[in-house]
């Protein structure tokens, strides 16, 4: 007569499978409190701003960051034409859209700036390459517009911030404490 129960090996296999499934579920829900998408985008903006700052000093040119509610792009000042032109021909500085459900909030001198979408309906053949002035400028001298740029995910209210000072130093705050960022904005 054989006893009708589970063997130790069968029970251990079930426990291991449950542990793997639970760990995958925990990782996919983001229990760590971080928003990887926001962190990636803030790292990208921080890196591009630092790269552009170095380039401004080396080339002796003025550059800028042009922001829209859910997109951004980099521009260069052309002094002989007296206008800002997009850097779209350079892959790393091309115009970028934010992921769905993510928006910007820009602060200059502790004042929130209303970001408006760029209106391309009035462009003519002569002004196709011209664009509006950037909200954040990087001067050839190495100085820059002090700013605080917060990216917020609409569904979770998680946020991450890129901060720039007047000397061109750029840093960021991750999304690991979303409630702290939400408290700061109010």
What confidence tens digit (pLDDT) does each residue in 122-165 have?
444 444 455 788 999 999 998 999 999 999 888 888 889 999 99
Q: Is the pTM of this model over 0.85?
A: no
Q: Which CATH number is 134's domain given?
A: 3.55.40.10
Ranked by mean pLDDT, the top range of 76-80, 128-132, 172-176 is: 76-80
What percent of the chain has a predicted confidence (pLDDT) above 70? 81
Q: Is the pLDDT of residue 88 over 90?
A: no
User: Is the residue at 65 inside a domain?
Assistant: yes
Average pLDDT over residues 67-83: 91
Residue 104 sits in which domain range? 37-115+129-185
User: Is the residue at 96 inside a domain?
Assistant: yes
User: Is the residue at 12 inside a domain?
Assistant: no
User: Is the residue at 120 inside a domain?
Assistant: no
- Where is pLDDT greater, at 39 or 1? 39
What are the b/e assignments for 39-66, b being 16+ CB within 10 Å? Answer: bebbeebbebbbebbebbbeeebbbbbb
User: Is the residue at 160 inside a domain?
Assistant: yes
The phi, psi pair for 102, rounded to 5°, reads -115, 135
- Where is pLDDT greater, at 174 or 65? 65
What percent of the chain has a predicted confidence (pLDDT) above 90? 44
The phi, psi pair for 109, rounded to 5°, reads 55, 45
User: Is the residue at 75 inside a domain?
Assistant: yes
CB 163 within 8 A of CB 173: yes
What domain count does the chain have? 1
User: Is the residue at 61 inside a domain?
Assistant: yes
Query: Which SS3 state, helix, strand or coil, does residue 57 take?
Result: helix
H or E element at residue 186: none
Tens of pLDDT, residue by residue over 4-34, are 788 889 999 999 999 999 887 766 555 556 7
Comparing CA positions, the residue from 6, 79, 83, 92 lying closest to residue 51 is 92
SS3 content of the chain, % helix, strand, coil (to 5): 30, 30, 40
Task: Compute the distance between CA of residue 122 and CA of residue 74 in angstroms, rounded to an integer.
Answer: 21
Q: Is the pLDDT of residue 50 over 60?
A: yes
User: Is the residue at 104 inside a domain?
Assistant: yes
């Amino acid at each position: 007569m054989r006893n009708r129960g589970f063997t130790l090996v069968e029970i251990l296999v079930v426990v291991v499978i449950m542990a793997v499934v639970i760990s995958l579920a925990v990782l996919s829900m983001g229990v760590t409190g971080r928003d990887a998408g926001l962190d990636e985008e803030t790292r990208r903006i921080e890196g591009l701003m630092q790269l552009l700052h170095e380039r401004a000093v080396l080339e002796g040119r003025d550059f800028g960051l042009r922001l829209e509610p859910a997109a951004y792009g980099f521009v260069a000042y052309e002094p002989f034409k007296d206008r800002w032109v997009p850097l779209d021909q350079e892959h790393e500085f091309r115009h970028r859209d934010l992921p769905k459900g993510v928006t910007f909030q820009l602060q200059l001198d502790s004042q929130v700036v209303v970001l408006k979408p760029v209106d391309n309906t009035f462009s003519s053949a002569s002004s196709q390459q011209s664009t509006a002035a950037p909200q954040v400028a990087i001067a050839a001298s190495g100085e820059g517009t002090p700013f605080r740029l917060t990216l917020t995910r609409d569904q979770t209210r998680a946020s991450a911030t890129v901060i720039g000072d007047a000397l061109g130093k750029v840093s960021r705050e991750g999304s690991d404490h979303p409630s702290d960022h939400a408290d700061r904005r109010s």
